[in-house]
Amino acid sequence: MKVLSAEFLLSAVSVEHYPRQPMPEVAFAGRSNVGKSSLINTLLLHKGLAKTSSTPGKTQAINFFVINQRCMLVDLPGYGYAKVPQHVKASWGKMIETYLQQRAWLRAVVQIVDLRHAPTPLDQQLRDWLLHYGIEIVTVATKADKLKRSQRAKQMGAVRRVLGMAPEEPLYLFSSLNREGRQQLWSRLDELLLPPVRWAQDGSGKPVESR
């Protein structure tokens, strides 16, 4: 997808605050400080659109971004930061669960893990939950630039093993520093967000593109 426009739409903490525009959307989920907001900014080539922070657990609402006035990317609160109070963790968990269960326009969840570390039990729990509810998963391992090429295969194997990924299931490597993996990830997101091209005939019988 060529990003012609990208803008922050709104933040929501409950269903009644969700956008009402009928646009397909993909949500991004991952542990706190896994590079989720940086990944979104790199995808959109828009530094600072999704707010990044050196303080884990900073994102406390669901943030919606409109792309090309035709689809949305959704930044979910990060999970798993130990210093966040337990009652806040509970409210975030409920917020995310409600969104994933009730959002009719959701097409997939991009689950983000850090390539340098094995996925945590919370990562496994999220994947199991998404599989249980039949939600499409796109798995992305960030911070690929932090590892030597010789280390990547081992870490990719660890991610696949811990998450129980099928051999044919793609694992996308990504770096917000050098934009590695951006085009590959966009190719998959295009399949999910953009309707397939259909062909029809105009009044003269010539084929025309119709979506």
Please list, residue by residue across 6-34, b when 16 or more beta carbons sit within 10 angstroms of its beta carbon and e when fewer do. Answer: beeeeebeeeeebbeeebebbbbbbbbbb
Q: Which residue has the tokens 């971004």?
A: 65
What tens digit of pLDDT does each residue of 1-47 get? 899 999 999 999 889 999 999 999 999 999 988 999 999 999 999 88
Q: Class assignment of domain 6-210?
A: alpha beta
**Contact status, residue 72 vs residue 66, Cβ threshold 8 Å:** yes
For the chain, where are the E strands, in sequence order? 6-12, 25-30, 62-67, 71-75, 106-114, 137-142, 171-173, 198-201, 207-210
Question: pLDDT class for 204, splitting at 50, 70, 90?
Answer: low
Given this model, what pLDDT does residue 50 score?
81
HSE-up (13 A, CA, CB side) for residue 210: 8
Given this model, what pLDDT does residue 15 score?
92
**Contact status, residue 165 vs residue 138, Cβ threshold 8 Å:** no
Cα 66 to chain centroid, rounded = 14
**Coil vs helix vs strand at 113:** strand
Question: pLDDT class for 95, splitting at 50, 70, 90?
Answer: confident
Given this model, what pLDDT does residue 58 score?
52
Any idea where the domains of the chain sit in the sequence? 6-210
Query: Does the pTM of the predicted model rise above 0.75?
Result: yes
What tens digit of pLDDT does each residue of 116-142 get? 999 999 999 999 999 999 999 999 999
The stretch 134-154 carries a mean pLDDT of 95
Question: pLDDT class for 205, splitting at 50, 70, 90?
Answer: low
Given this model, what pLDDT does residue 32 score?
84
Alpha carbons 47 and 41: distance in angstroms, whole number: 5
Q: Which residue has the tokens 């995310």?
A: 96
What tens digit of pLDDT does each residue of 97-109 get? 899 999 999 999 9
Given this model, what pLDDT does residue 76 score?
92
Alpha carbons 33 and 53: distance in angstroms, whole number: 8
**pLDDT of 174 strictly over 50:** yes
Alpha carbons 193 and 186: distance in angstroms, whole number: 10
Question: pLDDT class for 209, splitting at 50, 70, 90?
Answer: very low
What tens digit of pLDDT does each residue of 40-94 get? 999 999 888 887 654 544 557 899 999 999 999 999 988 865 455 565 556 667 8
